Structure formats: structure tokens, C-alpha cells
Chains A and B, each alone.
Chain A
Amino acid sequence: MELAYYPGCSLKASTEIYDEQCKRVLSAVGINLHEMDNWNCCGSTSASKTDDFLAVALPARNLGIADASDYSGMVVPCSCCYNRLLSAQKVLQTDQSLLDTINEELTDKITGKTKILTVLEAIQFAAKSGDLTKNVVKKLEGLKAACYYGCMLTRFPYDMAASDDVENPQGMETILKALGASPLDWGYKTECCGASAAVNDKDTAFKLMSRIMKDAVARQANCFVTSCPMCQLNLDAFQKKIGTIYGIDRELPVYFITELLGVAFGMPAGELGLDQHFADSTTLLKELNLYE
């Protein structure tokens, strides 16, 4: 399957490993990602906090590029970009004057034809066609994963349908079970990590993350798994510090879902960027004989 690909700024900067993993892993299951030409920043939540027009216009320009391409679907791995692009598409379905205003300035016009997909949806396509399990060379046995979705994958600022259950999504659990891992039931899978508050309001973000960490540890998870670059960076980079402040004595690796697929497919650790994590990410995999 050939799909358009919107990496977003994070995947070209601090979470470049996720960009690599998405391309490699999805291509292994028969989905080729084609990075959109000349895409721009989605504006993240900062746009909606500062400028009503930019909150739609920034993501919308990318919708135009995707709509003008030959691809019927576009994979957006970053949850925040996904949220902003999908929200803009929804707004422009009902606001003709805004659509006209934006289209006037675009070479590639927005038509609304592109189906916007999360990485989890793309992987599930492969699972349905059997392309997922046939690639598995190592079963992820012993991985007690706390699947962490965060906010942006299922909750939107507009009244719109989510691709998974809003409060109890199962996308990652379904995929991990197919790979032989044991995802856990836990209570904080869609709680907020604080996102940018980790930079501009540390006390708040650390408090939020401490609750997430405490629940995962109490349920005896041995790792977090996520599909959001912001959630991954926050939990990974600040876990040690938060553990010290809140007296949590275990530090869990924070894997991307694509990373674990790569491990199950037998991809080399270097290609997956397992060494670019902050919390120790290799010891657990070695203990489980998933990584040499």
C-alpha cells in the first residue's frame, strides 16, 4: 500500500528515531510512506492558544498538499499533528468562507479527499491482511506493557469521531498481543503527560507524569509503549527526576510501538535507535532475549 506521510517537526528533530522506525517498520509490512513535499508545521496547540486563523491555516496548507497528491491516505505519526490536521479538516468541512479564504492562497487546493491515519491504524491494516504476524521472528514474550496513548490521539477540540475508544483505546494492545507481548489493564493510558508544560510549567507536568508512572509501576508493568513523540520524550527524559521527587523507585523504558515491531521483526537495535533513549531501554530486552 502506498500512502502519503506527514512526519511533522518533532520527527525531524528530537524524535528522529520515530521517523526512521515508522518508515522501516511500515515498509516491512507492505506500507510505503511517501513524505509530502514541502509540508509545514501544524501549529500544534500553540496556534489555537494565540491565533484562530493560524490554528486552521497552518495544518490546512498540508491538507492541500495531500489532497493534490495521488495518495488517498496520509499517515501522521505525531499525535498532536494528527489532532491538528484532523481538526482542521473537520472545521473546513463546515466553514466554507474560511475554506475559500485559505484556498485562495494555496497552489495545492484543499478538497477534503485525504483520509488522515494514525500509525496504529496503518499497522492494523497490515494486521488484517496478515502482513504483521508473518514478519515476526521474535515473539515479545515477557513484555508487560503499559500502553500509553496520552490526549491527542482520541480527544479533539471539536465534536468529532475518534479512531479508537476515547477513554479506553485498544489499538496498541491489539498490535502487541499479536506480537506475543502482554499489555496490561491500567488507569492512566489517556491521561495527560503535561506536554509543553514540561518546559514551561515543570511542577504541573511532573505532577501529572508522577501519577502515570505510579500507576504503571503499581500494576507491575515493565515498560511503557506509546505512539506519541511528545509523550515519549517527556516520560523518557524526565522519569528519573520525577522518580526522585515523588519517591518512585522504578524506571521503565519508554518504547515507541514501532520500535517494538522492529524488535519483533528482528531489525538491528542500531537501526531502531534503541540507544537514543534516556531511561535504560536495552537491559529489559536483553533479559527477555529479544536483543543481543
Chain B
Amino acid sequence: MATVLELGSDKASSLAGEVMARSGQNLSACYQCRRCASGCPVGEQTGYLTPDRLIRMIVLGKRDAALDNPLIWKCVSCYTCGTRCPNDIMTARVVDTLKKMAHEHRIRPSSPKVAAFHSSFIAAAKRAGRLNELSFMGRYTMKNTLGGLARLRLRGIIQDQKDQAGFGLVLLRKGRVHFLPQKIKNRRQFKRLMRKGRAWAGSVSKSPASQE
């Protein structure tokens, strides 16, 4: 009989340990009841790779699969999995941890636009202290275009530009675009706070309040 589940024992403990420490979630408590799966709104979009499957993957030590799969990029952070879990495992936080680990290991996201969106959002917010939709969307579109060019996906680029421009025009027509950029005062102090993360990350090897 073919092996259904294969345990890479040494890999398993290191992967599960790292994900549990960083996400603050006790994955060994998962007994695969699949309440998370039945509530996951993106199950169809991930080919039914649901939170329970992702947890199993991590526990079995499948590092490559855990860091490179559709769920970590299709997850919409609705937190349904976590609020329904009888063992209080918030898989959305596991998913967020895997996104960061994939980025650190330079694994190309299966949905590059999602990754580009979030990194552009944070870059724009850190710069002005507030999010300006125009500068943020410009940054995001630029990132996508360059990414698309690198992958030689010209048709995709053109379609994306059309979609963005179309949506932009609709917003403009309804008077819902603002050209005056929002900025906070005393940005020097703000940026000092933003940089503080590096020292903090070096001093602790856990995510915020991971022990709760």
C-alpha cells in the first residue's frame, strides 16, 4: 500500500517549532476536526487546501509545500478559521507567519500581486504616516508592471493597467479621489519608531504576545 502520510521527523520538529514560535499558535493541539475548513471562504480558490491541511503540512515537516502554496496568498484574513477552532488555533496568523518566512527565503509568491499590494501598502504608510491612495496605487501598479515584465506577461500587464485605470476613473467621477496628500507631523520621530522594529526583532525570537 502506498504511504499516505510521510513524516520527515527531523525536518518536522524544526519547521513546526519555528512556525509555532513565530505565530504563537499551538499547532499540536489540532485534531483535524475541519471546522476551519468548512468555514474557509477561499477553499474553492485554493484547490481545497484548507487551514487544517496547511497545519498538517507543517506538522509533517513539508517545508517547501508549507512556504509555497495557494492558501498563504489566497487567504483573505477573515479570521473565521480561528474564531471557530475548538482549540483556539488562529490559522490566519500561521498564514501570515508563512508569508513572512517565504519572503525571507526569497520564494516567489504564487500570487505576486497580493505580495506586491501589501509591501506597497506598508511602504506608503511608513513614508507619509498615512496611506495616500494615489501614491500607494502608483507604487503597487509599478511593482506589478516590473514583476510582469520580468516574467514576460505583457497581456497580464495591459489588462491590469486597464482595470486599475477603469476603477480609478469611476472613483474620480464619483468625487471619491483625493489629490491632496495626507501626511503626519513630526515624521522624524515616527520613522524612528518604525526603525525600532529591527532591534526589537533581534532581541526576541517570537511574535508579539506569542505566549498567550
Contact = CB atoms under 8 A, between A and B. Distances in A.
A155 B82 CA distance: 9
Counting chain A residues whose Cβ lies within 8 A of the other chain, the interface size class is 35 or more
A14 B133 CA distance: 8
B32 interface: no
Interface in A49-63: 49-58, 61
Contacts of A46: 117-119, 121-122, 125
A180 B132 CA distance: 39
Contact of A157 (B90, B129, B194): B90
B83 A208 contact: no
A202 B82 CA distance: 24
B106 interface: no
> Interface residues of A: mostly helix, strand, loop or mixed?
helix
Interface stretch (B12-20, B54-62, B70-78, B150-158): B70-78
Interface string A133-149: 00000000000000000
Interface stretch (A89-97, A117-125, A171-179, A214-222): A89-97
A191 B100 CA distance: 26
B117 A195 contact: no
Interface in B157-198: 163, 167, 170-171, 174-178, 182, 184-186, 189-190, 192-194, 196-197
B35 to A, nearest CB: 12
Contacts, number: 192
B6 interface: no
B170 A53 contact: no
A199 to B, nearest CB: 6
B190 A61 contact: yes
B160 to A, nearest CB: 10
B44 A91 contact: no
Interface of B: 22, 41-42, 44-45, 73-74, 76-80, 82-83, 88, 90, 92-93, 96, 99-100, 103, 111, 113-114, 116-119, 121-122, 125-126, 129-133, 140, 163, 167, 170-171, 174-178, 182, 184-186, 189-190, 192-194, 196-197, 199-201, 203-204, 207-209, 212
28 contacts: A9-B125, A9-B182, A12-B178, A13-B176, A15-B176, A38-B185, A41-B131, A43-B125, A46-B117, A46-B119, A50-B100, A58-B125, A90-B209, A95-B209, A98-B208, A104-B196, A105-B196, A156-B79, A157-B77, A157-B79, A157-B93, A200-B113, A203-B45, A208-B42, A237-B171, A277-B174, A278-B170, A278-B174
User: What 6 pairs between A and B have smallest CB-CB spacing?
Assistant: A53-B197, A192-B78, A155-B79, A46-B121, A9-B131, A41-B125
